[in-house]
């Protein structure tokens, strides 16, 4: 299945009837809180099978995944995924590897947040996104608010950084 920029892979609260293997592209995952705030809390990239919290047992989705560039995904019916998990002794190790890779990604993102200046954090995010962005500029993929959420600064600071001020 092909999704284009702005198209939604899954919505917050979906029942979890499917899992998705990302073959190419990028997705941002946002969460709508009860107070109305929308927070970007994850980036999904090629090679991942998501939702992560449903790899071993079903659960409704925690956020909304929206394509930020053209993306190709494989839809996996959840009942088939869980049946294979029961029947194939290699499947749990595959899931452990997927989760380990995501944990390493999250550790890298946390390391990026502890770098000294906002400019350095923006540069690290830009370098990482360049590996997956199909040549698109970071500001074409994410809003200034979203970039700020990923590097721990306000939108105004991102605006200044992107202008080179």
Q: Which residue has the higher pLDDT, 19 or 164?
A: 19
The owner of tokens 């927070």 is 39
Please tell me the distance from the alpha carbon of residue 157 to that of residue 165, in angstroms, as a whole number. Answer: 10
In the predicted structure, residue 9 carries a pLDDT above the cut 70: yes
Return the H-helix or E-strand segment holding 30: strand 27-32
pLDDT in tens, 76-129: 999 999 999 999 999 999 999 999 998 998 898 888 888 889 999 999 999 988
Which residues pair with residue 27 across a beta bridge? 44, 67
Q: Is the pTM of the predicted complex or chain greater than 0.85?
A: yes
pLDDT band at 21 (very low <50, low <70, confident <90, very high): very high
| Phi, psi angles (nearest 5°) of residue 92 | -60, -35
Residue 165: per-residue pLDDT:
59
Region 12-22 average pLDDT: 94
* Average pLDDT along the chain: 92
């Amino acid at each position: 299945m092909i999704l284009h920029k702005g198209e939604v892979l899954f919505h917050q609260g979906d029942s979890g009837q499917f899992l998705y293997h990302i073959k190419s592209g990028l997705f941002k995952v946002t969460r709508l809180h009860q107070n109305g705030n929308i927070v970007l809390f994850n980036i999904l990239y090629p090679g991942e099978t998501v939702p992560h919290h449903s790899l071993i047992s079903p659960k409704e989705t925690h956020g909304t995944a929206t394509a930020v560039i053209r993306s190709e995904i494989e839809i996996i019916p959840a009942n088939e995924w869980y049946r294979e998990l029961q029947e194939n002794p290699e499947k749990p190790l595959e899931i452990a590897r997927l989760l380990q890779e995501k944990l390493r990604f999250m550790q890298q993102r946390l390391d990026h947040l502890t770098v000294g200046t906002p400019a350095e954090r923006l540069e690290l995010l830009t370098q990482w996104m360049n590996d997956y962005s199909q040549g698109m500029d970071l500001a074409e993929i994410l809003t200034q608010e979203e970039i700020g959420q990923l590097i721990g600064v306000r939108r105004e600071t991102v605006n200044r950084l992107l202008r080179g001020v």
